């Protein structure tokens, strides 16, 4: 699939802020399922800082805005060709040992409810089967309901409530997978919604579970599927906060409001209108 991605996040402050620093995980992963045609990151009024590929294989880019300013706009625009790899993250270069993803964070810490949920997946033929069963269990336990949970909602809370969005599904799946000794991590990215698909925001998140013999395999309990060519993978972490595409902080008393626009559309072909960009 040839996808054009446009993603704009506008931070507005009621009073000017200075020394805004951001760490961006906003560049598509390099693996067999993705080939980036061109990709541009811009932070208004900002200077590009360090850029490097981290141990998880994510391209991280730091930006600083000296200010003072009342508005900072982060704009991503790019084109990428995707391919269905049945969720398997094949050909992805990373250095971190999977066992490092068995560690809990506050967002994924298990409680009695999650332990019960993890125990529901029985009779698994092999680890891959177990992963599928766990994902289905989470889909059944948490109904898609936007606006009922917040960024700080934990897996345990979402399960208790029985409702949530993709972030909550991913956290819950990560929690139950780790309980069953499967390394699991949070993945942030984009999703192109086709006509027949459920209506989701184009900014999306899912989970990856490490399956012996296959490596990392994506599962999207919010959509009851594994990521395919509609998905654009950006990066991963132990939970949503660790995998956040944008982490930033500014000096000053200004109160921040956020405006996000994401658009992922399919295109027939890539015209060579913008310069091709490659990254090491």
Partner 1 sequence: MSYYNEMYEGSRVREPYARLSQWVETMPADFRQMKQAEAEALFRRIGITFAVYGEGGDPDRLIPFDMMPRVFEQAEWRRLERGIKQRARALNAFLRDVYGRAEIVRAGRIPARLVYQNEAYEKAVVGVVPPRGVYSHIIGIDLVRTAKDQFYVLEDNCRTPSGVSYMLENREIMMRMFPGLFRGNRIEPVDQYPDLLRRTLESVAPAKCQDRPTCVILTPGHFNSAYYEHSFLANLMGVELVEGADLFVDGEFVFMRTTQGPKRVDVIYRRIDDPFLDPLCFRPDSMLGVPGLMDVYRSGGVSICSAPGAGVADDKAIYTFVPEMVRFYLGEEPLLQNVQTWTLWKDDDYRYVMENLPDLVVKEVHGSGGYGMLVGPKSTREEIEAFRAKIEANPGNYIAQPTLALSTCPTFVAEGLAPRHVDLRPYCLCGDRIELVPGGLTRVALREGSLVVNSSQGGGVKDTWVLSE
- Stretch near partner 1 under the rule CB under 8 A, chosen from 7-15, 59-67, 116-124, 165-173: 59-67
Q: How far is the CB of 263 from partner 1 (least distance, A)?
A: 27
Q: Contacting partner 1 (CB under 8 A), which of 89, 248, 254, 264?
A: 248
Cβ atoms of 258 and 9 within 8 Å: the answer is yes
Q: Which is nearer to partner 1, 249 or 255 (CB)?
A: 249
Which range touches partner 1 (CB under 8 A), out of 33-41, 94-102, 210-218, 261-269? Answer: 94-102
Residue among 61 and 168 whose Cβ is closer to partner 1: 61
Q: Which of residues 174-233 bind partner 1 (CB under 8 A)?
A: none
Stretch that binds partner 1, among 17-25, 29-37, 133-141, 158-166 (CB under 8 A): 17-25
Nearest to 254 by CA among 69, 14, 65, 72: 14
> Nearest distance from residue 39's CB to partner 1, in Å?
19
Give CA–CA dist 34/84, Å, rounded: 9
Our finding on whether 110 is near partner 1 (CB under 8 A) is no
Q: How many CB atoms lie under 10 A from the CB of residue 83?
A: 12
64 sits near partner 1 (criterion: CB under 8 A): yes
**One residue of 16, 49, 68, 113 binding partner 1 per CB under 8 A:** 49
Nearer to partner 1, 24 or 202 (CB): 24
In the complex, least distance from residue 163 CB atom to partner 1, rounded to whole angstroms: 25
Contact pick of 95, 112, 125, 258 for partner 1 (by CB under 8 A):
95
* 56 makes contact with partner 1 (CB under 8 A): yes
Q: Which residues bind partner 1 (CB under 8 A)?
A: 19, 21-23, 47-52, 54-56, 60, 62, 64, 66, 95-97, 99-100, 102-103, 238, 241, 247-249, 251
């Amino acid at each position: 699939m040839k996808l054009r991605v446009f993603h704009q996040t506008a931070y507005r402050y009621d009073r000017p802020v200075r020394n805004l620093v951001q760490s961006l995980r906003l560049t598509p992963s390099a693996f067999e399922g993705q080939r980036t045609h061109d990709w541009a990151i811009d932070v208004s009024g900002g200077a590009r800082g360090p850029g490097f590929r981290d141990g998880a294989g994510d391209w991280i880019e730091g930006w600083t805005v000296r200010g003072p300013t009342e508005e900072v706009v982060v704009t991503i625009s790019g084109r990428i060709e995707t391919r269905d790899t049945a969720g398997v993250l094949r050909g992805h270069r990373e250095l971190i040992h999977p066992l490092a993803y068995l560690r809990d964070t506050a967002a994924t810490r298990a409680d009695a409810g999650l332990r019960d949920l993890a125990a529901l997946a029985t009779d698994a033929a092999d680890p891959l089967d177990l992963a599928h069963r766990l994902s289905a269990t989470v889909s059944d336990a948490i109904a898609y309901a936007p606006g009922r949970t917040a960024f700080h909602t934990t897996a345990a809370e979402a399960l208790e409530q029985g409702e949530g969005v993709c972030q909550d599904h991913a956290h819950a799946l990560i929690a139950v997978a780790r309980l069953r000794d499967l390394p699991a991590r949070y993945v942030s990215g984009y999703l192109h919604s086709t006509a027949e698909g459920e209506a989701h925001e184009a900014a999306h998140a899912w989970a990856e579970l490490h399956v012996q013999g296959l490596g990392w395999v994506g599962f999207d309990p919010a959509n009851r599927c594994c990521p395919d060519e509609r998905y654009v993978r950006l990066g991963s972490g132990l939970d949503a906060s660790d995998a956040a595409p944008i982490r930033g902080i500014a000096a000053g008393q200004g109160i921040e409001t956020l405006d996000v626009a994401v658009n992922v559309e399919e295109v027939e072909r890539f015209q060579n209108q913008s310069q091709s960009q490659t990254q090491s």
